[in-house]
Every structure is written in C-alpha cells, then in structure tokens.
Amino acid sequence: MGASIKVVMTLLSRETTLLLGLSALLSRPAYFGIRAWLQKFTYHLNFHWGFYFLVLILRAASANPVESLRYE
C-alpha cells in the first residue's frame, strides 16, 4: 500500500538471499563429508559439470509443451 518498487524488491530479495546463503552454508560440510566418504570406494566415476547441463537441455528440449501448459 504505497510502497515503491525498490522497497518491494528489496524485501523479496532479502528473504531469498538469506535462504540461499543459509542453504549454501549448510550444504558445504555435507559436500565435503560425502566426497570423503565416496573416495573410500574402489571404483570411481568422474562427472563433469557440463554433463548435468547437457541432461537439463535435452530434457527441456524433449518435453511436451502441452503437458507444461495444461496446468498453467
């Protein structure tokens, strides 16, 4: 009620930034713990970050747009 766009965006982005920062802090020890645990296994698989992006792109390209629009 009378707030400017800047104030509204600040309020929305502050909460989102706080939640993203908190999740980054909590996930950091878990990442290193799981990484150390996985290094103990005999066989290792090395995945590159590009692999995950490729999967996301292929999945988005093969998705049926009717299924996405049905629930909009």
Residues 6 or more apart whose Cβ sits within 8 Å of residue 38: 44
DSSP-assigned letter for residue 45? -
> What's the confidence (pLDDT) of residue 48?
76
In one-letter notation, the amino acid at residue 70 is: R
Residues 6 or more apart whose Cβ sits within 8 Å of residue 44: 38
Instruction: Give the range of the structural domain holding residue 33, as residue numbers without chain letter.
Output: 5-70
Stated pTM of the model = 0.46
Please state, in angstroms and rounded to a whole number, the distance separating the CA atoms of residues 24 and 47. Answer: 21
Q: Specify the number of domains making up the chain.
A: 1
Which tops the pLDDT comparison, 59 or 21? 21
The pLDDT tens digits of the residues spanning 28-58 come to 998 899 889 988 888 877 777 777 777 777 7
